[in-house]
Amino acid sequence: MSDKVMFTAVAAQGGNIGPFPTDSILKFDTIITNVGEGYDNTSGVFKAPIAGVYYFTFSYQAPKNYTSGLLLMKNDSVVVKAADHNGRGEYLTDNGGNSAILELALGDKVFMQLPANHCVWTADRTTSFSGFRISQ
Residue 22 belongs to a domain with what CATH number? Answer: 2.60.120.40
What is the C-alpha to C-alpha distance for residues 107 and 27, in angstroms, rounded to an integer?
19
Of 115, 134, 135, 118, the C-alpha closest to 57 is 134
For 80, the domain range is: 6-135
Q: How many domains does the chain have?
A: 1
| Global pTM value | 0.92
Digit-coded pLDDT (tens) for 110-133: 999 999 999 898 877 889 999 999
Report if residue 1 sits inside a domain: no
Q: Is residue 37 part of a domain?
A: yes
Q: What is the widest separation between alpha-carbon atoms in the chain?
A: 51
Residue 67 lies in a domain: yes
- Does 127 fall in a domain? yes
30 belongs to a structural domain: yes
pLDDT computed for residue 40 by the predictor: 97
